[in-house]
Amino acid sequence: MAYNFDSPPSRRNSPFLGKWTAYPRDILPMWVADADFPVAPQIQRALHQKVEHGVLGYELPSRPLYEVIATRMKNLYNWDVDPDSIVYTAGVNNGYNIAARILCSKKKGYLIQTPVYNEFQETAEKTGARQLVAPLVKKVEGSRIRYEVDFDAFERGIKKSGMFLLCHPHNPVGKIYSRAELKRMSTICIEQGVTLVSDEIHSELLLGDAKFMPLATVSREVEKHTITLISASKAFNVPGLASAFAIIPDESMRKKFQTIMTGMSVEVSTPGLTAARVAYAGKADAWLRALRRYLTGNRDFILEYVEKNLPGIRITKPDATYLIWLDCSALKLKPSP
């Protein structure tokens, strides 16, 4: 089946505040990871059927959905996930904010690697946890930039942390961490008694021939010390439906997570569960493969255009996500309006 990604519907006439309505028309909304492509037909049909049923009452995930998610992890990564280790939450950012409330204290903060998704930085304000930073090291090769882990800064920061918050694949630089990097970071964390929280929301938006390895699959020991956060929202473009999941193998940690989540009244939506089941069951995988090819073409076009036409701007070659990271610092531009 052919999918048309060339004619996205306009979102400028929405009565609600969104990426295309928040600012004047001459400003491009590059501030949010939100695609404009129509949702996969398979998900649209499932949502239509749900609405046509006539009732959109309260619903919560059940074991069959968790089994579907576990099966997908097995099929994609040969990762044996116990369905009982999966916990629902309204969004991935809810997940790491809950984790920060469990793992951080007055003495122990949380470590991030900048440049990074703004919500990672806002966790400090939302939870009161102290933020520690181990900036990624920028490597420049002509007009291309790539980022590497600064392990000296990482080790210094981990000693003052209760939680390491990893963005994998990385938003915004598109980096997929190598097995060696994941292993070394996780070893340092475990030695210091630090829990790893991995936001893997972009893990199915792979570009070209890139491969992805979940942090928790490095080893059984790493899995025990990791909270993995996933959602169908980015890959299948349903972020407005409020549905995400935390994979927490450690039973004690899982119970703490559920207790705090209950107190915060964090709930998923019925349409979100419907979309998640279709996505994780693989019913929209043909659409996803077509989307990846299209996004890979977009990436390659932008790389070529920037290198030929925009001297002074450096650019990453992302392995995943639909984001591109442009370094305009050499242009000495004024701050954002």
Each domain of the chain, given as residue ranges in start order, spans 53-280
Residue 334: pLDDT band (50, 70, 90) is confident
Range with the lowest mean pLDDT among 43-52, 130-139, 150-159, 259-268? 259-268
Where do we find the tokens 């709930």? 267
What pLDDT score does 28 carry? 82
Cβ neighbours for 167, distance < 8 A, ≥ 6 positions apart: 112, 113, 116, 117, 120, 199
Average of per-residue pLDDT across 74-83: 99
What pLDDT score does 31 carry? 74
CA neighbor of 117 nearest in space, from 182, 32, 231, 197: 32
Strand ordering across the sheet containing 144-148: 137-141, 144-148, 314-315, 326-327
Q: Which of 2-6, 105-109, 331-335 has the highest mean pLDDT?
A: 105-109
Whole-number average pLDDT of the chain: 95
Q: Has residue 265 got a pLDDT over 90?
A: no
Q: Has residue 42 got a pLDDT over 70?
A: yes
Between the alpha carbon of residue 325 and those of residues 30, 66, 145, 168, the distances in Å are 11, 34, 9, 15
What pLDDT score does 29 carry? 79
Average of per-residue pLDDT across 169-174: 97
Residue 12: pLDDT band (50, 70, 90) is confident
Higher pLDDT, 290 or 59: 290
Residue 58: pLDDT band (50, 70, 90) is confident
Average of per-residue pLDDT across 26-48: 90
Amino acid identity at 24: P
183-239 pLDDT, tens digit each: 999 999 999 999 999 999 999 999 999 999 999 999 999 999 999 999 999 999 999
Average of per-residue pLDDT across 310-321: 96
Give pTM, 2 decimals: 0.95
The domain defined by 53-280 folds into Aspartate Aminotransferase; domain 2 (3.40.640)
What pLDDT score does 25 carry? 84
What pLDDT score does 337 carry? 59
Record the tokens describing residue 102, joined without a space. Answer: 């469990």
What pLDDT score does 16 carry? 72
Torsion angle in degrees (nearest 10) through CA of 74, 75, 76, 82: -20
85-107 pLDDT, tens digit each: 999 999 999 999 999 999 999 99
What pLDDT score does 277 carry? 98
What pLDDT score does 187 carry? 99
Between the alpha carbon of residue 68 and those of residues 73, 81, 120, the distances in Å are 9, 11, 29
105-133 pLDDT, tens digit each: 999 999 999 999 999 999 999 999 999 99
